[in-house]
Amino acid sequence: MSSKQKNGVRYDRVEVNSRTYPWPTSPVVVICVDGSEPAYHERAIADGRMPFLEQMLERGSDLRADCVMPSFTNPNNLSIATGVPPAVHGICGNYFYDADADAEVMMNDPELLRAPTLFSEFSARGASVTVITAKDKLRRLLGRGLKGICFSAEKSDQLTVEDHGIDKVLERVGMDLPSVYSAELSELVLAAGVDVLERDRPELMYLSLTDYIQHKHAPGSKTANDFYAMMDGYLAQLDALGAVVVVTADHGMNAKSAADGSPQVIFLQTVLDGLTAGPLGTSTSRVVLPITDPYTVHHGALGSYATLHLPKGTDVDGVAAELRTLDGIEEVIGREDACRRFELPADRIGELVVIAERNTALGTSPDRHDVSGFTEPLRSHGGLTEQRVPFLVNRKITELPAGHRLRNFDAYWVATALASGQQPPN
Ligand code: ZN
Ligand code: ZN
């Protein structure tokens, strides 16, 4: 077993959030391919566009895992980074409603993170750690307490060694600063990852892409296949450099549109205002769509998950029963049940959690969603139908503990075991 000496202490494993991670002898690279519904890489392989991944899966492991609910970006990236669900780390969306303060709070602030990341804990013990994200919104959360390289492709023209552990990334990889809405933003993450791995060989690396392509293009489409073919080249390079590579996703992606291509949306605020102004309640309710963030061009803040804050005195069960009668609603669940089933932090969700069916999205009211910029039918995520994600490894997993439900946030637990010559522990 490998180990690391720092300040006279030798580490052969690191304990983070009650899980144990062996010290890796070869670099570990986890790639979170944002919005990577399994059909994307399956179709790309079938169409001959991912020859490296095809042979990697023949000698490695071709598994599927469940992401955390809601199937959104922040909760899942933080779960992968901490190895635990949102009930422990506290990040259950892009924002939440703080009822005590009567304020909507963006969950980009590292202060809101309730658990340390693997990155901060490994780096505190002397490991070299590199975290590269596509968008800057995730960088601060993932970088909390991390001493190492941590930057976003979005701001890769503004890097300093002092603040990000690296500079001149665009020059190193020979790319121009990409648009935040582009395939190149993800390519820059991968290219920079290869560059850092070549020169620094960090123990842990995390590369987190953007789902801009997946929101617009279905599996097997030319643009989607081009994107996955681009990725294939970088996977081959990371593998050739001797890293243990896990490719997973924060969530899947499905069409949320009607047959005519228009968005298929249930506007919950409109529905609720009708209910809670009537016999089921007396004052206003609040619909929280945790997908909402400053980057809404590709989904108009429409996903398949919502949480509802209902005024005191509301007949919560009555509202739930009414919502269940709507076409396109998959589940309406009370706070306690939702926390138990989905491992959510009770103080950051409302009285009800609403989940839409596969091809339906949830909105507040029509005037609050700008879909005028959509050039393609709406594709989005957030529900149980986007929970299945790829878990692809360039090493053979010969055993998992009996009955273990594989999660995307097992990525480092699996990878550090394989990278120290072991199998995931029982
Ligand atoms: Zn995402
Ligand atoms: Zn998305």
pLDDT by residue (tens digit) across 84-120? 999 999 999 998 999 888 888 989 889 999 999 999 9
Q: Nearest ligand to the C-alpha of residue 181?
A: 2
Task: Give 26 Cα–ligand 1 centroid separation in angstroms.
Answer: 28
Give residue 185 CA to ligand 1 midpoint distance, Å.
14
Tell me how far the alpha carbon of residue 78 lies from the centroid of ligand 1, in angstroms.
Answer: 11
List per-residue pLDDT tens for the chain, 426 residues long: 456 666 666 689 999 999 999 999 999 999 999 999 999 999 999 999 999 999 999 999 999 999 999 999 999 999 999 999 999 999 999 989 998 888 889 898 899 999 999 999 999 999 999 999 999 989 999 999 999 999 999 999 999 999 999 999 999 999 999 999 999 999 999 999 999 999 999 999 999 999 999 999 999 999 999 999 999 999 999 999 999 999 999 999 999 999 898 999 999 999 998 886 655 554 578 999 999 876 666 678 899 999 999 988 889 999 999 999 999 999 999 999 999 999 999 999 999 999 999 999 999 999 888 887 788 899 999 999 999 999 999 999 998 999 999 999 999 999 999 999 998 876
The DSSP element (H or E) to which 418 belongs, if any, is helix 411-418
Report yes or no on 301 lying in a domain.
yes
Which of the 8 DSSP states describes residue 350?
-
Q: Is residue 1 part of a domain?
A: no
387 phi, psi to nearest 5 deg: -85, -20
- The answer as to whether 331 is a domain residue is yes
Of all ligands present, the nearest one to the C-alpha of 214 is: 2
Concatenating the DSSP letter of every residue in 42-78 gives: HHHHHTT--HHHHHHHHHSEEEEEE-PSS--HHHHHH
284 and 402 belong to one structural domain: no
Please tell me the distance between residue 328's alpha carbon and the centre of ligand 1 in angstroms.
22
Is residue 297 domain-shared with residue 320, that is, in the same domain?
yes
Same structural domain for residues 362 and 272? yes
- Cβ neighbours around 160 below 10 Å, total: 11
pLDDT tens profile 138-165: 999 999 999 999 999 999 999 999 999 9
Ligand 2 center from residue 205 Cα (angstroms): 22
What is the domain-level CATH number for residue 321? Answer: 3.30.1360.110
Question: 179 CA distance to ligand 2 centroid (A)?
Answer: 16
Helix (H) or strand (E) holding 216: helix 212-216
Q: How far is the CA of 252 from the centre of ligand 2 (A)?
A: 9
Residue 211 CA to ligand 1 center (angstroms) comes to 6
Measure the CA–CA gap between 49 and 286, rounded to whole angstroms. 46
CA distance 380 to 383: 9
For residue 168, tell me if it sits in a domain. yes
Task: Tell me which residue range forms the domain holding 246.
Answer: 26-254+384-418
CA of 3 to the centre of ligand 1 (A): 34
Separation of 17 CA from ligand 1 center, angstroms? 23
How crowded is the C-beta side of 132, counted as CA atoms within 13 Å? 29
Q: Read off the tokens for 54.
A: 């095809």
Indicate if 303 and 327 belong to the same structural domain. yes
Distance 381 CA to ligand 2 centre (A): 6
Strands (E), 164-315: 204-208, 244-248, 254-255, 265-267, 286-288, 305-309
Ligand nearest to the CA of 299: 2
Indicate if 320 and 294 belong to the same structural domain: yes
The answer to the question of residue 126 being in a domain is yes
Neighbours of 419 (CB within 10 A): 26
**Which residues, in sequence order, are CB contacts of 345 under 8 Å at separation 6+?**
86, 87, 90, 92, 114, 339
Find the 349 Cα to ligand 2 centroid distance in Å: 20
Residues 122 and 96 in one domain: yes
Distance CA 186, CA 279 (A): 50
Q: Is residue 8 part of a domain?
A: no
Asked if 372 and 304 sit in the same domain, the reply is yes
In this structure, which ligand is nearest to the CA of 77?
1
3 domain residue, yes or no: no
From the CA of 298, which ligand is nearest?
Answer: 2
Pair 198, 231 in one domain: yes
Our count of domains for the chain comes to 2
DSSP assigned state of 134: S
Residues 223 and 272 in one domain: no
Domain holding 48: CATH number? 3.40.720.10
290 and 391 part of one domain: no
Pair 308, 287: CB distance under 8 Å:
yes
Quote the ligand 1 centre to 8 CA distance (angstroms).
41
Q: Do 284 and 235 lie in a common domain?
A: no
228 with 134, same domain? Answer: yes
**Domain membership flag for residue 259:** no
- Among 147, 171, 175, 173, which Cα is nearest to 161's? 147
